[in-house]
Amino acid sequence: MNTEDRTSQQQSPEDKEKQDFLRNRGVIPLHIAVIMDGNGRWAKSRGSVRIAGHKAGVDSVKDITEAAAQVGVRHLTLYAFSTENWGRPKGEVSALMKLLVQSLRSETRKLHENDIKLTSIGEIDRLPPTCRRELEEAIELTTDNKRMELCLALSYSGRWDISQAVSRISQKVKDGILCPEEINGDIIADHLSTADMPDPDLIIRTSGELRLSNFLLWQSAYSELYVTNTYWPDFRRDELYEAIESYQNRERRFGKVPSHFELEESSVAMR
């Protein structure tokens, strides 16, 4: 069975068609990172408690992970819990941790069957021991999988990431392994928790907030941003496809001039 067949059993022909359409119309982002926001407001809008929103959000995680792998995304990073989220009421934090354990227990086998490699970024040491154990076991089990990397940002913040990189680089300078003059963007990137991943091509934020909330601060330098008002528990694969389509319509210039200008300029210079 090839990798594409593994999840297509449950896939509708219309969905398969949409994915083929996207692959034919342009480049599929190599790395998509998602700020999964709006669980609390989703629950409130239904007269429910915040945790009901977090629970509903798990179904979106499953759908988006599956669809991303099927359409050909190679890295999917999900912002699941930020450093600042530790400051939420104790009951909410422990409910979120419990949900993480339950989801890892119920979903790891499927991830593995679908050839998805699970990784994580963030201060994993701060997670409760059961969480950490489940996470480490799932990471270990799926370590050789190749189809897509699913990276969970847990107890993560961009400032934490940059700080730990600076600290490790400083130690190398102190130990004489590195000269201060050698420190550049590549060295810093190599010491971030995302060293083994490409920078995100596309960052999606649900629930309409126009901010990064301390997510991948260094890595997002040239990411394309896509914000939708949809709350995370309502965000499903069709909106992921819309985000990818929007990405395909963008022109990424990385501070340079568009390629057709370059051609025009060189023909003017030759005259």
Catalytic residue IDs = 37, 85
3-class secondary-structure state, position 175: coil
Distance CA 92, CA 98 (A): 10
**Candidate segments 29-37, 46-54, 124-132, 232-240, binder of Mg ion by CB under 5 A:** 29-37
- If one asks whether residue 226 binds ligand IPE (CB under 6 A), the answer comes out as no
Nearest to 56 by CA among 76, 33, 40, 67: 40
Write out the binding residues for Mg ion, residues 37-56 only, by CB under 5 A. Answer: 37
62 binds, options Mg ion, ligand IPE, none, Cβ within 5 to 8 A by partner type: none
Out of 6, 16, 41, 112, which residue is the one contacting ligand IPE (CB under 6 A)?
A: 41
Closest contact distance (angstroms) between CB of 39 and ligand IPE is 4
Which position has the token pair 């340079």?
A: 256
Closest contact distance (angstroms) between CB of 26 and ligand IPE is 28
**Candidate segments 77-85, 141-149, 168-176, 219-227, binder of ligand IPE by CB under 6 A:** 77-85
Which phi and psi (to 5°) does residue 59 adopt? -65, -35
Distance of CA 188 to the CA centre of its chain: 20
Out of 22, 33, 36, 67, which residue is the one contacting ligand IPE (CB under 6 A)?
A: 36
- Contact map string, positions 86 to 125, toward ligand IPE, x by CB under 6 A: ----------x-----------------------------
Out of 29, 40, 122, 158, which residue is the one contacting ligand IPE (CB under 6 A)?
A: 40
77 binds, options ligand IPE, Mg ion, none, Cβ within 5 to 8 A by partner type: none
- If one asks whether residue 85 binds ligand IPE (CB under 6 A), the answer comes out as yes
Residue type, 133: R
Closest contact distance (angstroms) between CB of 266 and ligand IPE is 45
Out of 82, 142, 194, 228, which residue is the one contacting ligand IPE (CB under 6 A)?
A: 82
Integer CA distances (angstroms), 54 to 42, 62, 188, in order: 9, 13, 34
Six token digits for residue 206: 């649900």
Cβ proximity to ligand IPE: between 39 and 193 the closer is 39
Burial 210-233 (b: 16+ CB within 10 A, else e): eebebbbebbbeebbbbbbebbbb
The DSSP-derived string for 207-259 is TT--S-TTSSTTTTTT-EEEE-SS-GGG--HHHHHHHHHHHHT----TTS--H
What letter does residue 199 receive in the DSSP assignment? P
Cβ-proximal residue to ligand IPE, closest one: 40
Distance CA 5, CA 71 (A): 12
209 binds, options Mg ion, ligand IPE, none, Cβ within 5 to 8 A by partner type: ligand IPE
> What residue ranges bind ligand IPE (CB under 6 A)?
35-41, 79-82, 85, 96, 207, 209, 211, 213
